[in-house]
Amino acid sequence: MSAPDTGLLVALVGNPNTGKSTLFNALTGLRQRVGNYPGVTVARKSGTCDLGEGQKVELVDLPGLYSLSAASPDEQVVTDALAGNIAGDRRPDAVLLVVDATNLLRNLFLASQVAELGLPVVLVLNQADVAKEQGLRIDTDLLSRRLGGVPVVLTSAWKGEGVAEIRRALARALAEKTQLARVAWPAEIARALGDVAAAASAGTDRAVSAADAQRLLFDATPSTAERLGWSAAARDKVLRSARDRVRNAGYNPMAAEPLVHYAHLRALLDGVVAEGLGKAGRTAAVDRLLLHRVLGPVLFVGIMLGFFASVFWLAKFPMGWIQSGVDALKLFVAPPLEPYPMLQSLLADGIVGGVGAFLTFLPQILILFLFLGVLEDSGYMARAAFIMDRLFSWCGLNGKSFVPMLSGFACAIPSLLSTRTIEDPKARLATAFVVPFMSCSARFPVYALMCGAFIGPLYGAGWESVVMVAMHCVGLLFAVPTAFVLTRLVLKVKPQPFVLELPRYQLPKPRDVLWRMWQNAAEFVSKAGTVIFAITIVVWALSYFPRDAAVAERVRAASPTLSADALRARIQAAYVEQSYMGRFGKAVQPAFDPLGFDWKITVGVLASFPAREVIVSTLGVTYSVGEGAEADSQALRKAMQDARWPEGPRAGSPIFSLAAVLALMVFFALCSQCGPTVATLAQETGGWRWAALSFGYMTLLAWAVAALVYQVVSRLA
Amino acid sequence: MTPLSQLLPGQFGKLASLNPERGVDQRLMALGLLPGMVLKLIRKAPLGDPLAIEFAGQVVSLRLAEAENLIVDVSADCPIQRPRQP
């Protein structure tokens, strides 16, 4: 928690797709802090908002939601935050309510619920430009009066219009404590709410607020009662008789809240919005094309293929620059350290080489996050879920699982966090379980190395692309049946409700997309990068030590006729082979023999369990360094192409045969080789049980499928 | 009286009843889909499921199975003109 103890806290609340985040960025000017709420992995985004005249407040951007009746952890955080029920966080001093000016009725339902909390409110009617285009004229003065005098501000966050007015209105709301007018509950419902509040206060020894009483009475889920510590035994009878009272007044207790609020809002909005002539907007027309029965799926596949193709092609250039930079850095640091061979090796091969290998695929991660942001902000992500839902619903997932699964192609960690938008805990668990199967960008360097060194040169660029695409599908191929078994046989998930708004299409705002890309990438680098850095050093040390001078002497004595360069390479190889890593790899190699892995690949596989991309740098150490070459990719490719089995039944044949190359890629496609992912999964699923199951299942599956691939392909080839 | 799932794309209806005990219907009610509300089935997804329906100036996706319990009156005095698209 980074919230300062002094100063005022303002919560930003609103429906999804109202431009809330754009407004947040505009108000805080990107002076933001990102943290986590305790216990759950909902990100807490906050920033400093200057209200002018030296007054500064902390603005916290709460997740978007339609109703305070919480169905997902994201929504629960909003309810808890507004009630001041989050450990280490204060109750907000005011609420900045963002609503879509083009749909006041639906948006004001949440406002009407928030009114019950009794907090000072500023109402922001965002997307005023779109409302104007549609011919809507909103009488903000009348709306403000009807809402009890709260400041009502028309803004267009996309264009940056009205932001200054929000600052002024917020200062006024904080000073004057402007509260939203509350709904008038029918007498019987008011009495039922009073009964619940009194009984709950008596049952929990604390004053239960009117807002909490509503959650207790109207929600089917017991989350509020559990939070208050009101036992099931105590509350059942009270709630049953209170709900009977509501029923006697002619309302279904489960429908009373929206019925009363919407009736109140209809009366309140009467005469506020005047509909004039305007353009209908292009969303319906675009949907006719993008959701067309035939063209829709074709365009969907096209967009996704274009998405991945451009990620790989666009990333190629910066990747090349980073690679050259790393090589240049290595040449720069190595010579002055010539007198200290251990330090030279640690710095040049270990740190620069290892971190460099990680940095080279950073451009891909950035571009993936950029594209995901564009898909999300434009409104196409919801359409993708709409098109794909049927394909997911049969295996117990839904179209919302598609978003985490798609972003799983970038990185499993943010995707695991994005499963929180799925309301049902079991569907969420199933989605989280299959997300690590998606071919994340850390697998890409493995495929790139293998395809670039073997598939491309031997079979041509066409097959290289085919194998590339196929490798990205392998995980998906196993993820879907896994989800089916998990949801139908293990978790026994009931068919999931799938209610999803298809929002208006919008041009993504570059600043928002770039900023989120930067935040996501920074989070990824700081989480994964530190692990990778540590692994790099450990792997280097395990393959450098023990450094017994007798090894070099023995090689020199055995081959006295070799040139100096060849001799040095021979010595290096001997050192790696007798290092701790080499010895361990050799000991474990028989387990990987059915997959066609030699001890060097085995070393790479073992070293990459904490972070799979480490395989590239590890192969760099075991092959390039071991054979006296620089660890840049051309030399590594050459060394791998030349590698032959030294002994055994396969003696003399290439280690990297087609079968072994495919088996290696399939192994990496399926294996659970990412420490941060396993940790995030444990955190998301509330314990190590599912994380351990995921790790064991994926690793065994990877071994079995890779063995199958090797055995089949090596017999066919 | 017809289940929403049997409406044709482009057809209007007035919501007659829903089941407030169901989670899906609670979500829809929060979005303003209450008895008496006029809605329109805009289209079905390319694979036939889910549906996209429009009501109260918004487009919402829901599954065929979920639409079966939403009973609409297609003979009611539904507007001939199209509701304003969001």
Instruction: Please write the tens of the pLDDT for every residue from A362-387.
Output: 787 788 788 878 888 999 988 988 99
Model confidence at A496, pLDDT cuts 50, 70, 90, reads low
Q: Do the Cβ atoms of A524 and A441 come closer than 8 Å?
A: no
Q: Of A109, A385, A499, which is closest to B62 when you measure between CB atoms?
A: A499
What tens digit of pLDDT does each residue of A668-702 get? 999 998 877 888 888 778 778 999 999 999 999 99
**Residue A627 pLDDT level (bands cut at 50, 70, 90):** very low
Task: Give the length of chain A.
Answer: 717
pLDDT of residue A621: 64
Work out the average pLDDT over A522-529.
71
Residue B31: closest CA among chain A residues belongs to which residue? Answer: A106
pLDDT attached to residue A1: 39
A-B CB pairs within 8 A amount to: 129
pLDDT at site A631: 36
Spatial CB neighbours of A397, under 8 Å, sequence gap ≥ 6: A427, A430, A431, A434, A483, A487, A496
Nearest to A60 by CA among A7, A102, A105: A7
Tell me the chain B residues in contact with residue A220 when contact means C-beta distances shorter than 8 Å: 21, 23, 26
Instruction: Provide the pLDDT confidence category of residue A434 given band limits of 50, 70 and 90.
Output: very high
pLDDT tens-digit map of A500-525 = 899 999 999 999 999 988 887 787 67
Can you give the residue ranges of every domain in chain B? 2-73
CA dist., res. A379 & res. A376, Å (int) = 6
Q: Is A238 exposed, middle or buried (0-12, 13-18, 19+ CB in 10 A)?
A: buried
Q: Per-residue pLDDT tens for A11-41? A: 999 999 999 999 999 999 878 887 777 666 6
Q: Does A293 touch chain B (CB under 8 A)?
A: yes
- Per-residue pLDDT, averaged over A255-275, amounts to 94
Give the one of B43, B45, B58 whose C-beta lies nearest to A103's C-beta. B58
The domain A8-176 is placed in CATH, from the list 3.40.640.10, 3.30.110.30, 3.40.50.300, 3.40.718.10, at 3.40.50.300
User: How far off is chain A from B62, nearest CA to CA, in Å?
Assistant: 5
CB contact under 8 A, A287 and B45: no
How is residue A134 annotated by DSSP? T
Can you tell me the mean pLDDT for A162-174? 95
Residue B27 has its nearest CB partner, among A262, A497, A502, at A497
Question: Where are the domains positioned within chain A?
Answer: 8-176, 187-250, 296-490, 530-716
pLDDT band at residue A75, thresholds of 50, 70 and 90? confident
Angle at A165 between CA A163 and CA A170, to 5 degrees: 100
Structural tokens at position A223 = 């989350």
ipTM over the 0.85 cut-off? yes
| A647 pLDDT tier (thresholds 50, 70, 90) | confident
- Does B16 touch chain A if contact means CB atoms closer than 8 Å? no
- Pairwise CB contact (< 8 Å): A255 & B20: yes
- Strand A8-14 relative to strand A273-275, pairing: unpaired
Find, in chain B, the residue whose alpha carbon is nearest to that of A253: B20
Closest Cα in chain B, distance from residue A544 (Å): 57
Measured between beta carbons, the chain A residues lying within 8 angstroms of B49 are 389-390, 393
Tell me how far CA of residue B39 lies from CA of A104, A387, B34, B53, in angstroms: 17, 21, 10, 7
User: What CATH topology corresponds to B2-73?
Assistant: SH3 type barrels. (2.30.30)
Q: Is A254 on the interface with B (CB under 8 A)?
A: yes
pLDDT in tens, A307-350: 767 776 787 788 888 888 888 888 888 888 888 888 888 888 77
At B78 the pLDDT is: 58
Give the per-residue pLDDT at B85.
45
* pLDDT tens track for A188-240: 999 999 999 999 999 998 899 999 999 999 998 888 898 889 999 989 999 99
The yes-or-no verdict on residue B23 having pLDDT over 50 is yes
Tens of pLDDT, residues A585-594? 889 999 999 9
* A297 part of contact set with chain B, CB < 8 Å: yes
Q: For residue A121, give the nearest of A149, A146, A101 by alpha carbon.
A: A149
CA distance B78 to B86: 19
